[in-house]
Amino acid sequence: MAALVEEKVTEITHWNDTLFSFKTTRADAFRFHNGHFVMLGLMVDGKPLLRAYSIASANYDDYLEFFSIKVQDGPLTSRLQHLSIGDSVFMSKKSVGTLVADDLNPGKRLFLLATGTGLAPFLSITKDPDVYERFERIVLVHCVRQKNELAYYDYFTKQLPNDEYLGEMIAPKLTYLPTVTRETFSQQGRITELIENGTLDLDPATDRVMLCGSQFMLKDVSAALDMRGFTVSPQQGAQGDYVIERAFVEQ
């Protein structure tokens, strides 16, 4: 318990039957890098039941935000999806992670490639002014199976580009590219297919990439990048052409 902090739920959004987001209070002492994750969960039978959650809010926000799947028989998400305003959640006092922009080599374009709830850390990173100063263009790709899984679609198409404080910086540089694999949509195909057909014209000389998604996605997209001459950041604090969250790879 000494390593955990209790926060209160302040806002909940149910996107569909399988996805939801929630916001919590944030302790004044809590610090993190955009792209980091924490261990988060609930007390069950007097013991903490936790799993790793990427932080979706930016490191300067006065709240914490998380994006989660709903698993009906999941030990944690079967409970977490029924949160109410004012409920308590528990999280580790320290954030960690290797999905940080500081571990990327200098470049001109930054590609953020996500599947499903792997979008979460990129919600944080696309609000980071430092990222827009470092790169000329940021391309966010969110790949899902069905259109109703495109959580935050309105946020990226309407709200973020018109943000009162960051809109002028973000609007001309951020390209949001949602893609769907099992329904007709304006952009269709898996991320690997978009790389292979040239929709994502990735060049290791100028482009840098951050990946977050399922184990299969990380494996397949990493292989596609390796074939094109990209080099992965070998460890935390070491720069490369692309980064992944290493803590999630073996789960």
pLDDT in tens, 93-115: 999 999 999 999 999 999 999 99
pLDDT for 250 beyond 70: no
Spatial distance between the Cα atoms of 186 and 177, rounded to a whole number of angstroms: 10
Residue the block writes with tokens 């109703």: 148
**Domains annotated on the chain, with CATH:** 4-92 (2.40.30.10), 101-249 (3.40.50.80)
Give one DSSP letter per residue of the chain, joined into a string.
Answer: -TTEEEEEEEEEEE-SSSEEEEEEE--TT----TT-EEEEEEEETTEEEEEEEE--S-TTSSEEEEEEE--TT-TTHHHHTT--TT-EEEEESS-B-S--GGGBPP-SEEEEEEEGGGGHHHHHHTT-HHHHHH-SEEEEEEEESSGGG-TTHHIIIIIGGG-TTTHHHHTTTEEEEEEESSS--SSBS-HHHHHHTTSS---TTTEEEEEES-HHHHHHHHHHHHHTT--B--STT--BSEEE-HHHHT-
Residue type present at position 85: I
- Do residues 78 and 59 lie in contact, with contact meaning Cβ atoms separated by under 8 Å? no
The whole-angstrom separation of Cα 89 and Cα 82 is: 12
State pLDDT tens for residues 5-56: 999 999 999 999 999 999 999 999 999 999 999 999 999 999 999 999 999 9
Q: With bands split at pLDDT 50, 70 and 90, how would you rate the model's confidence at 247? A: confident
Segment 169-184, tens digit of pLDDT: 999 999 999 999 999 9
pLDDT bin (cut points 50, 70, 90) of residue 248 is: low
